[in-house]
């Protein structure tokens, strides 16, 4: 078993990994840049080391992080999500320095990070993919010719893209001419590669992803699916496990496809295979070679500690479970509570949290790194916390989500919490009939009142008094 793990990340996922290490008797090492000096992951880890004043440079420096792991006697690095988590060069540096990378091999990250290579692998494994280019596009003329062949609308995507960036929908040849150079520019700046590909745009599909676990002994299992259809501009807002929209037959089918996809590329550790569903058609979208933000809801319905399994797998141990051991129970929803103002085009709302009260009660989980007095820095992702609720049936899960969102108090910044309450109230959501077009199709949900209840006003006054008196 591993003895000491450096966590190459920050925020709530770093705290999550610290907790898993503590439960397993493993020492944890945190890293931070100056804006994160007083961050919770720094306070909770056994050791912590500064990477300098620049907010981002330290978190994005593979060589420096690996050298620090060696210097501090770490035998492993957990990359979390984002930053260097899907950086093949980072994984290679770990391998060269005898540091265990808690994730797949660098060669697999390379293959699945290149979306055209990933499509080729899935095609060979008989996993259905969307119609589109066989490889990277040579130029605009090829893009225009292929778009005419598969039919508009089409998507132009960065081959090395992710996180909703480097993607443009084109509904006509004129739009394709406009967007093609823009995607190349964005891809070059964001991912260091100008390579792009084209695929048929599946209009308003359901976005379904399957959690998989694979060990180094050839065992691969799935932990059922998550529905990520509630999203805005390719950014997920509310995630659900399992999907209330799938039949048992569809559930078994996408689970088997995910396992087949993982086996096809020799995958190891935790990963996610994403699909688009339209009618009875299923198409492979991409594979994420890391732990996902929304792993929490899979843990809630299956009882499997995914981060713990990641660490065990990286240490060379066999999976703790066989496929027949995996059962799901009830429904779980995750709300990404972002520091954004939905009524102002979701603009970031960074600043000091004057008061924070976490919701609780049966079936409620909160993963976060914020606290009262914490200053949310403007350099990173806007997510403040992940609010997760679980209940035995769909209606009770929605009602529990409403209650937990109502319980939470987060003052000093704007958040997406009240907007999510509007979504939960919508009859289409409550009936389990929604797709990726739900958010843009319902702009009226942004017309909610910001007026707080008397109890919230009283709490705000108490917070102000406490701040003034130093209580």
Supply the residues annotated as catalytic.
290
In Å, what is the CA distance from 177 to each residue of 58, 172, 181, 224?
38, 9, 8, 40
- 333, 238 Cβ separation under 8 angstroms: yes
In Å, what is the CA distance from 367 to each residue of 19, 27, 335?
11, 20, 11
The strand pairing partners of 167, in sequence order, are 157
Bond preceding residue 185 cis, omega within 30 of 0: no
CA 411-416-417 angle, to 5 degrees, is: 70
- 375, 339 Cβ separation under 8 angstroms: no
């Amino acid at each position: 078993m591993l003895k000491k793990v450096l966590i190459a990340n920050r925020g709530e996922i770093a705290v999550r990994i610290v907790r898993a290490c503590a439960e397993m008797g493993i020492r944890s090492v945190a890293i931070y840049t100056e804006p994160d000096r007083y961050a919770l992951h720094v306070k909770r880890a056994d050791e912590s080391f500064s990477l300098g004043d620049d907010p981002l440079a330290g978190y994005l420096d593979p060589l420096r992080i690996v050298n620090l792991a060696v210097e501090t006697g770490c035998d492993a690095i957990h990359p979390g999500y984002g930053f260097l988590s899907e950086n093949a060069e980072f994984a290679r540096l770990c391998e060269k320095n005898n540091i265990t990378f808690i994730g797949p091999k660098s060669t697999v990250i390379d293959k699945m990070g290149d979306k055209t290579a990933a499509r080729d692998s899935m095609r060979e494994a008989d996993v259905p993919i969307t119609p589109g280019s066989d490889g990277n596009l040579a130029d605009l003329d090829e893009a225009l010719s292929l778009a005419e062949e598969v039919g508009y609308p089409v998507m132009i995507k960065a081959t090395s893209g992710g996180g909703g960036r480097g993607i443009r929908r084109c509904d006509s040849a004129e739009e394709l001419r406009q967007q093609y150079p823009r995607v190349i520019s964005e891809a070059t700046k964001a991912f260091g590669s100008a390579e792009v590909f084209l695929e048929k745009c599946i209009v308003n599909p359901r976005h379904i992803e399957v959690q998989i676990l694979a060990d180094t002994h050839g065992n691969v299992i799935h932990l059922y699916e998550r529905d990520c259809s509630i999203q805005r501009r390719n950014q997920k807002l509310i995630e659900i496990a399992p999907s209330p929209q799938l039949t048992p037959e569809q559930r078994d089918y996408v689970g088997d496809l995910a396992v087949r996809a993982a086996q096809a590329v020799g995958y190891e550790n935790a990963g996610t295979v994403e699909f688009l569903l339209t009618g009875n058609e299923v198409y492979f979208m991409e594979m994420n070679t890391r732990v996902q933000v929304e792993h929490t809801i899979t843990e809630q319905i299956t009882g499997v500690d995914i981060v713990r399994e990641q660490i065990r797998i990286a240490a060379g141990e066999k999976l703790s479970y066989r496929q027949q051991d995996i059962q799901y129970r009830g429904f779980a929803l995750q709300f990404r509570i972002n520091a954004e103002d939905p009524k102002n085009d979701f603009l970031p709302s960074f600043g000091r949290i004057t008061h924070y009260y976490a919701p609780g009660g049966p079936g409620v989980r909160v993963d976060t790194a914020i606290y009262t007095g914490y200053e949310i820095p403007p350099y990173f992702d806007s997510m403040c916390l992940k609010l997760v609720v679980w209940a035995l049936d769909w209606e009770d899960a929605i009602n529990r989500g409403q209650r937990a969102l109502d319980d939470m108090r987060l003052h000093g910044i704007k958040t997406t919490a009240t907007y999510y309450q509007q979504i939960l109230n919508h009859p289409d959501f409550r009936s389990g009939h929604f797709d990726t077009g739900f958010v843009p199709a319902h702009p009226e949900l942004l017309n909610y009142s910001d007026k707080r209840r008397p109890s919230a006003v009283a709490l705000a006054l108490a917070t102000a008094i406490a701040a003034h008196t130093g209580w």
